[in-house]
Structure 1
C-alpha cells in the first residue's frame, strides 16, 4: 500500500517539502537594510572639482559690441545654464538664432541652442535643438544635435567628408578666435518632417528630423548656454556676442537678466565617473508601499581595473542554467546619460567581477538578467540578456523591446528563465503590460553553462557613463 493511501496528510507534507527542496524564492521590501553583499558599490574614488562661473560679463573679444554671455563652464551631473526665457515652441514652430562665439584653448564642452528648462536632467538632453562644442586643447569640434521628448536623438557635425572612409570627420577648429554661427529650424523641411540647418564658420550641417522623431514631439522654452549633463569632467571657457534669437537682437551693452541656474558654483562632484554610489536607500522612488528600496548612481565598469568593477546583491544558493530562474519587482529609471548601462539579475560574486585585460565583451561572465540601455537614436530599452562562463552571449536586441524613460515613472517588471527540451533555453523580460521580450539561448551556450550565487546589480566590463535606477519589492529565486 502506498504512503498516499496509508497517510494522505503525511504524503502531502512530504510532497510540499520536496517542492520546497526543488525551488525556493525570497521577497524583499527593503523597509530595513537587508545587509546584501557589495563590492565598490559605495566607491571612494576621488571626487572631481567643478567650477561654474558663467553668465553675463562686461568682457568681450569685440569691445565695440559691449558685453558677452559666457565664462567657465564645466560638464557635470548637476544641471547648470544661463538662458533667455521664451514662449513655448514646438516642432511646428520655425526657430532661428545667430551670433559669434569664442572658444578659448583648453577643454570643456557645452550645449548652445534651444532647450526646455523642465527636462535638463542628462545628456542626451530631451527637448533640445543645439550645437555641442567640444574643447580639444588647441582646437575644438562642433556637433549638431536634436533630441526629442522621448530621449531619441539624431545628430550631425561641422565636418569634412572622407571619401575613402565614406564618413564625416569633425573639423579641428583652432581655439581662441571669433567664429560666426547660425541655427535655423524649418518645420516644413525634409518633406514636412522638419530640418535643423546649422552653420559654423561658413560650414553647413543639416540634421533631418525623421517622421518618428517628429511624432515624438519636443517643446522648447529657453535659448542659451548649458552644461553637458553627464559626469564631472574638465571645464573650458566659452563666450557669445552679437546674438539674435528668433529675429530679436540681444542688447549686451547691459545685463540682459536671463535666467540663471547653477551657473555660479564651486564644489567637489559626487558625479565623478565611475564613482558608484548605490545600495540600500531610505527613499521611495520605485513605488513601494513604504519608504525603503535599493539603487542609486550606477556606472558602466571596466574589467581591466579592480576599482571599476562593482556589484550589490543578495546571496543565493549555487544556481545554474540547468533549472528555471525567476525574479520580479518594481523599478524606476530617474536619470540616463548616453552611453550608459545598468545590469540587473543573477550573477557570480567572483566570475562576474574577474579582472582581465579583454575588452571583447561588455557583459560580465556568468550573468543572466536584464539591461537598461540603448543607442542614442532610440533612447532607452529594458531587455533581457545573458552571458555564460565563456564567450557565449546574446548579440543584438530581441523582438518586442519595451522602452523605458528616465522620467521617474515606477514600473513593474518580471524576468523568467526556462531550460528547453532541446538542451537550450530562453529568458524573457516583461515591463508593465508589454509583450514579453524573449531571448533564445542556444544549446551549446547552455552546455557551457553559467554559475550564479548573487542576485542584484553588477557592472558591465566596458566603461561608460552613469544611470540612476532604484528597485523595490523584489522576489527572486534563491534555490533551485
Structure 2
C-alpha cells in the first residue's frame, strides 16, 4: 500500500445478473469475500442496471468501501442504478499520500465519482498486490453476468486487446458445481483434524447463518446436557481453526436450548437465539473476524461484546489452530453475572445486563447453533472439547 496505483479504460456491462471485482488483487490470498489484498471496483448486476461499489481489503481481512451513489454510515448504502448496455469510461486511482496520509482511492465512472479513504489501522495492516484483472466475488450468491473491457491502461502501461495479452489465468474458463450455497448447512461431526486436536475427528464444517422466520433454515448440532441455568457456573474450551469466512457471516458455539434457541418466529429484530450463552465468530467488514461472548435470556434481554471497542479478540480464516475457553460466573460483576472468553493469550469480559439473571435462561445442549438473522457462511472446526454437562452438586440438590 506504499505504491501509487492506477488503471483506466472502457467498460460495457450487459443486462442481467452478475457480481465481480475489477482491480488490483493478490493471487495467493483469494480466500472468500471480502477478499484480502484488494483495491477494486465491484460491479453488481441488477437486471437493466448495475451498481458500482469501490472497496479495499487489507492483508488482515479488514475492509472499507465507497459507492457510486450515497453511503450514510451506520444506516444505509444507496447505490445509484447505472443503465446496462452502454459503454462507460472509468478510472481507478490509489494515492498512498491522500486521505490525510493514510491513502485515498478514487473511482470515476462516466460522469460519476466515488472515493474511499484508507483508515490508519487498515494502512498499518498493509496489503500487497500481484495482479490486475477480473475476479469473481468469492461468496455463494448471485448468478453469472457479462462484461467487456477495452482501451485498458494499468499503471501507465497500455494493453492492446485486439490480441490475447497472455495474462495469468486461474480457473477462468471453468464450469463447476458447488454445495457451498446459501442457506445450505453442512456441519456436525467430521473425521478431519483441522483444529489441531489430539486425534482425527472433530466438530464443525460449513456454517451459514440461520433464519428464524423459517424452521428449515435454522440448524444445530450439540451434546445433550442436564438442564443448566444462569444460576450455574458454566465453562467450555478446546481447540479451534477457522478456514474460511465471508463478510456478513456468523458461526456460534456455546450453550443453547433445543426448543427455544430454534424457535420459529416472524421477527428478525435479534440475531442471538433465545436461551443462548456462548461465542460468536463474526464482525463488521471494517474489523474482519472477531471472537467474542454473546448471550440472550428467555425473553428480549440480550447482549454481545462491543465489536467496535477495539478490544474484541481477532481471528483469521487462515487455518491456524487456537486454544479457546469460555467461563460464565453467575456471581461475577457484583452478582449480575459475567462471561469471560479467551483466545490463545487474549481475553475479554462481557457483563450481563441488570435483570438478565432474574429473567433467566435454560440450556440443554452444548454445540453449534445458528443465529436468527440470515447471512453468509463460516467454515470452522472445534476439537478437544470440554464443557459443563450438569449443575454443580450444591445446586442440583
If the TM-score is normalised by the length of the shorter chain, which range does it land in? Answer: over 0.9
Does residue 429 (structure 1) correspond to residue 337 (structure 2)? The answer is no
Does residue 266 (structure 1) correspond to residue 183 (structure 2)? The answer is no
**Deviation digits for residues 281-303 of structure 1 (CA, Å, limit 9, x no counterpart):** 12211111222212111010000
> RMSD of the alignment, in Å?
1.7
Does residue 390 (structure 1) correspond to residue 299 (structure 2)? The answer is yes
Task: Name the CA shift for 1:167/1:383 in 2 (closer, same or farther; >3 Å).
Answer: closer
Instruction: Choose from 26, 29, 51 the match for 1:141.
Output: 51
Residue pair 1:145, 1:207 contacting (<8 A) in 2 also:
yes
SS of the residue 1:220 aligns to:
coil
SS of the residue 1:260 aligns to:
coil
Q: What are the equivalent positions in structure 2 for 1:17-96 lying under 5 Å apart? A: 91-96=1-6
| Counterpart for residue 316 of structure 2 | 405
| Counterpart for residue 228 of structure 1 | 137
| Counterpart for residue 188 of structure 1 | 97
Deviation at 1:396, TM superposition (A): 5.4
SS of the residue 2:132 aligns to:
strand
| Counterpart for residue 257 of structure 1 | 166
Does residue 343 (structure 1) correspond to residue 252 (structure 2)? The answer is yes
| Counterpart for residue 117 of structure 1 | 27
Does residue 478 (structure 1) correspond to residue 389 (structure 2)? The answer is yes
SS of the residue 1:264 aligns to:
coil
| Counterpart for residue 292 of structure 1 | 201
Separation in structure 1 between the aligned mates of residue 321 and residue 86 of structure 2, nearest angstrom: 48
Instruction: Choose from 156, 163, 171 the match for 2:80.
Output: 171
Residue pair 1:232, 1:272 contacting (<8 A) in 2 also:
yes
Does residue 438 (structure 1) correspond to residue 349 (structure 2)? The answer is yes
| Counterpart for residue 327 of structure 1 | 236
Separation in structure 2 between the aligned mates of residue 104 and residue 396 of structure 1, nearest angstrom: 44
Deviation at 1:169, TM superposition (A): 3.0
Does residue 467 (structure 1) correspond to residue 360 (structure 2)? The answer is no
| Counterpart for residue 394 of structure 2 | none
Instruction: Choose from 147, 150, 154 the match for 2:60.
Output: 150
Residue pair 1:343, 1:370 contacting (<8 A) in 2 also:
yes
Residue pair 1:423, 1:443 contacting (<8 A) in 2 also:
no
**Deviation digits for residues 32-52 of structure 1 (CA, Å, limit 9, x no counterpart):** xxxxxxxxxxxxxxxxxxxxx
| Counterpart for residue 395 of structure 2 | none
- Normalised to the residue count of structure 1, the TM-score between the two structures is 0.78
Separation in structure 1 between the aligned mates of residue 257 and residue 287 of structure 2, nearest angstrom: 31
| Counterpart for residue 129 of structure 1 | 39
Separation in structure 2 between the aligned mates of residue 138 and residue 248 of structure 1, nearest angstrom: 33
Separation in structure 2 between the aligned mates of residue 258 and residue 161 of structure 1, nearest angstrom: 35
Task: Name the CA shift for 1:430/1:166 in 2 (closer, same or farther; >3 Å).
Answer: closer
Separation in structure 1 between the aligned mates of residue 318 and residue 212 of structure 2, nearest angstrom: 30
Task: Name the CA shift for 1:374/1:290 in 2 (closer, same or farther; >3 Å).
Answer: same
Instruction: Choose from 341, 344, 352 the match for 2:261.
Output: 352
Deviation at 1:244, TM superposition (A): 0.8
Looking at CA atoms only, which structure, 1 or 2, has the larger radius of gyration?
Answer: 1
Separation in structure 1 between the aligned mates of residue 103 and residue 90 of structure 2, nearest angstrom: 20
**Deviation digits for residues 206-250 of structure 1 (CA, Å, limit 9, x no counterpart):** 211121111010000011111000104222111111111111111
SS of the residue 2:129 aligns to:
strand
Deviation at 1:265, TM superposition (A): 2.3
Aligned length: 387
**Deviation digits for residues 296-341 of structure 1 (CA, Å, limit 9, x no counterpart):** 1101000011111000111111111111000010001111100001
| Counterpart for residue 107 of structure 1 | 17
Q: What are the equivalent positions in structure 2 for 1:358-373 lying under 5 Å apart? A: 358-373=267-282
Separation in structure 2 between the aligned mates of residue 161 and residue 282 of structure 1, nearest angstrom: 45
SS of the residue 2:277 aligns to:
strand
Deviation at 1:267, TM superposition (A): 3.0
Deviation at 1:417, TM superposition (A): 0.5
- Normalised to the residue count of structure 2, the TM-score between the two structures is 0.94
SS of the residue 2:123 aligns to:
helix
**Deviation digits for residues 232-280 of structure 1 (CA, Å, limit 9, x no counterpart):** 4222111111111111111212112212222222233211101011111
| Counterpart for residue 98 of structure 1 | 8
Residue pair 1:332, 1:471 contacting (<8 A) in 2 also:
yes
Separation in structure 2 between the aligned mates of residue 179 and residue 138 of structure 1, nearest angstrom: 15
SS of the residue 2:41 aligns to:
strand
In terms of mean alpha carbon deviation, does 389-398 or 243-252 score higher?
389-398
